[in-house]
């Protein structure tokens, strides 16, 4: 076991021993994708105890008998869960992954078997190869789909953040009947005054170690407080970052919840309907600034989305 001192790892001068809680295989799989019935997992939810570098091969004893050997190198477990939780694709059936050159880049929402809605900045680089992955809550699993057509909002401008929407026409189509995935409907009408929060899901970074952003193996979901636009704008300097009337902002004042890199293009959901597409914000784990979404329920965007979906069928 290593001791932490000012973010540096320090080896103890003598042998150390601790009691570590054993968790179920299912719970362990929310941290590590490939866990089998032949393995035992331990995890301290108070984040004070656990094995580390140099502990591999060491014994785990139960009632004085050898139960397991510490066989894996130490993997990082989220020290700051930020209010989010692991979920299955059945719980968020409308979400897909957007890959850039084969690696996770953004999230997207299923509007129909052939159409994915995401942020335009997620697919704007013509030098990159983009694709869509559906059907799994694990980061590196799922069914791959080729992007046949990319329809970017005609008034999208990369440096101004506005109109940050794109529709992806994919092949083969997503099976929304027998697969875990389902399409989601656009919210229709203005957001009601009592809309205090929305649900966001994605595979974006959720932990940091020595300045390096780390990403979960499994889809995560969190509830984010919605704030008004004037308060949202007060956090950002004009004219560099403009919050438009067609935007929705979320912000957790406690700084425990929010979006990070890899969450762009992902869905903000209210009453089981899509109200927002993640566009911009701080995208860091300190969550000092609001997250800004394109309001897809706004008549300007709703009409554009519906018109372009009709054109590609």
**pLDDT in the model for residue 312:** 55
Q: Determine if the pTM surpasses 0.85.
A: no
Q: In the predicted model, what is the mean pLDDT of residues 241-258?
A: 89
pLDDT tens track for 224-239: 999 999 899 998 877 6
Residue 299's φ and ψ, nearest 5 degrees, are -55, -35
- Cα–Cα dist 247/162, whole Å: 9
- pLDDT classification of 274: cutoffs 50, 70, 90: very high
**pLDDT in the model for residue 7:** 43
Local structure of 28: helix, strand or coil: helix
pLDDT tens track for 164-195: 999 999 999 999 999 999 999 999 988 887 77
Q: Which residue has the higher pLDDT, 18 or 71?
A: 18
Average confidence score pLDDT of the chain = 82
- Cα–Cα dist 100/91, whole Å: 25
Whether 244 and 265 have beta carbons less than 8 Å apart is answered as no
Six-digit token string for 168:
């992806």
- Whether 95-183+300-312 shares its CATH topology with 184-297 is answered yes
Local structure of 277: helix, strand or coil: strand
Looking at the predicted structure, is the pLDDT value of residue 223 above 90? yes
What residues are annotated to the active site?
A: 121, 164, 264
pLDDT tens track for 131-171: 999 999 999 999 999 999 999 999 998 877 889 999 999 99
Local structure of 122: helix, strand or coil: helix
**pLDDT in the model for residue 79:** 35
pLDDT tens track for 26-84: 556 555 544 444 567 787 755 556 766 577 788 888 766 665 444 433 332 333 344 45
Q: Which residue has the higher pLDDT, 134 or 208?
A: 134
For the chain, domain boundaries? 3-69, 95-183+300-312, 184-297
Residue 140's φ and ψ, nearest 5 degrees, are -110, 25
The CATH T-level fold of domain 95-183+300-312 is Thrombin, subunit H (2.40.10)
Q: Which residue has the higher pLDDT, 161 or 199?
A: 199
- Cα–Cα dist 57/55, whole Å: 6
Whether 188 and 292 have beta carbons less than 8 Å apart is answered as no
Name 169's Cβ contacts closer than 8 Å, sequence gap at least 6: 114, 115, 147, 148, 149, 150, 151, 312
- pLDDT classification of 3: cutoffs 50, 70, 90: very low
* Chain center to CA of 254: 19
Nearest to 183 by CA among 274, 245, 52, 107: 274
Q: Return the CATH number of the domain spanning residue range 184-297.
A: 2.40.10.10
* Chain center to CA of 9: 29
């Amino acid at each position: 076991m290593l001791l932490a001192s000012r973010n540096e790892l320090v080896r103890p001068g003598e042998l150390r021993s601790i009691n570590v809680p054993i968790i179920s295989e299912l719970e362990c799989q929310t941290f590590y994708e490939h866990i089998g019935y032949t393995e035992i997992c331990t995890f301290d939810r108070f984040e004070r105890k656990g094995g580390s570098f140099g502990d591999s091969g060491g014994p785990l004893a139960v009632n004085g008998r050898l139960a397991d050997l510490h066989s894996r190198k130490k993997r990082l477990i989220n020290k700051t869960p930020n209010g989010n939780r692991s979920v299955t694709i059945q719980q968020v059936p409308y979400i897909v992954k957007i890959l850039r050159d084969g690696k996770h880049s953004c999230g997207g929402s299923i509007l129909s078997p052939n159409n994915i809605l995401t942020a335009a900045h997620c697919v704007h680089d013509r030098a990159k190869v983009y694709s869509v992955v559906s059907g799994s809550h694990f980061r590196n699993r799922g069914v791959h789909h080729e992007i046949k057509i990319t329809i970017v909002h005609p008034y999208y401008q990369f440096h101004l953040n506005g109109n940050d929407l794109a529709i992806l026409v994919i092949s083969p189509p997503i099976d929304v009947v027998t697969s875990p995935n389902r399409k989601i409907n656009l919210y229709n009408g203005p957001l009601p005054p009592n809309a205090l929060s929305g649900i966001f899901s994605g595979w974006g970074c959720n932990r940091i170690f020595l300045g390096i952003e780390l990403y979960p193996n499994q889809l995560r979901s969190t509830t984010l407080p919605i704030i008004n636009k004037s308060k949202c704008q007060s956090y950002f300097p004009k004219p560099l970052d403009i919050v438009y009337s067609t935007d929705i902002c979320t912000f957790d004042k406690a700084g425990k919840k929010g979006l990070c890199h890899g969450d762009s293009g992902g869905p903000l959901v209210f009453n089981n309907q899509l109200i927002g597409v993640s566009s911009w914000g701080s995208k860091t784990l300190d969550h000092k600034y609001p997250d800004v979404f394109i309001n897809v329920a706004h008549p300007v965007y709703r009409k554009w989305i519906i018109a372009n979906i009709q054109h590609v069928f």
